[in-house]
Amino acid sequence: MKKGIIGLCIISMLLNSVCVQNVKADSLNADGYYTADQNERAGGLIYQAGVSARLWYGYFSLSGFTDSTSTMAYIGYKDISIQRSSDKIHWTQEKTIPDILNTNSSSNTLTDYLITVSGGYYYRACLNHYADNGSGTTQTISNTTNAVWIY
């Protein structure tokens, strides 16, 4: 499954898309994904996370993954905000997307979640990768995609 996501990002980059800007610069691997280190695994719920955005037939397309090493009561994405800019410097919130959560799962994978936006602007998504073990422990990791021009 993880190879499929990595393949998706490679294809996305080849199609002039922008792939994966991640959560903590000091925790990025060679592919640009967040992977928990040994200390984070001991106390955290999220093992790996990544997100990408691209233009897909005029839509803003969001893809990503949130993985844990064990089954979570809830796992996925919360507080999803689509932002718009004309200069990639000044961003305004365009719309919010409802939380995307799987129940009783160890992962949540998005593949080309299409969002309708107006042309003539750059767009990006800001979100939190989220995991809840059902016993009162939760973890969130903030993430933002790179900007994508929608013509």
Pick from 102, 101, 82: which is nearest to 92 by CA? 82
pLDDT digits (tens, 9 = 90+) for 108-151: 999 999 999 999 999 999 999 999 999 999 999 999 998 999 99
- Among 5-9, 103-107, 135-139, name the one with the lowest average pLDDT: 5-9
| pLDDT for residue 44 | 86
| pLDDT for residue 19 | 29
Pick from 42, 45, 59: which is nearest to 115 by CA? 59
C-alpha span between 50 and 143 (Å, rounded): 8
C-alpha span between 78 and 143 (Å, rounded): 11
Return all residues near 40 (Cβ < 8 A) that are at least 6 apart. 27
- DSSP states along 41-87: HHH-S--EEEEEEEEETTEEEEEEEEEEEEEEEEEEEEEEEEEEESS
Contact status, residue 122 vs residue 149, Cβ threshold 8 Å? yes
Number of Cβ within 10 Å of residue 67's Cβ equals 25
pLDDT digits (tens, 9 = 90+) for 50-100: 999 999 999 999 999 999 999 999 999 999 999 999 999 999 999 999 999
Q: Is the dihedral of CA 36, 39, 44, 45 positive or negative?
A: positive
Cα-atom radius of gyration of the chain, to the nearest Å? 15
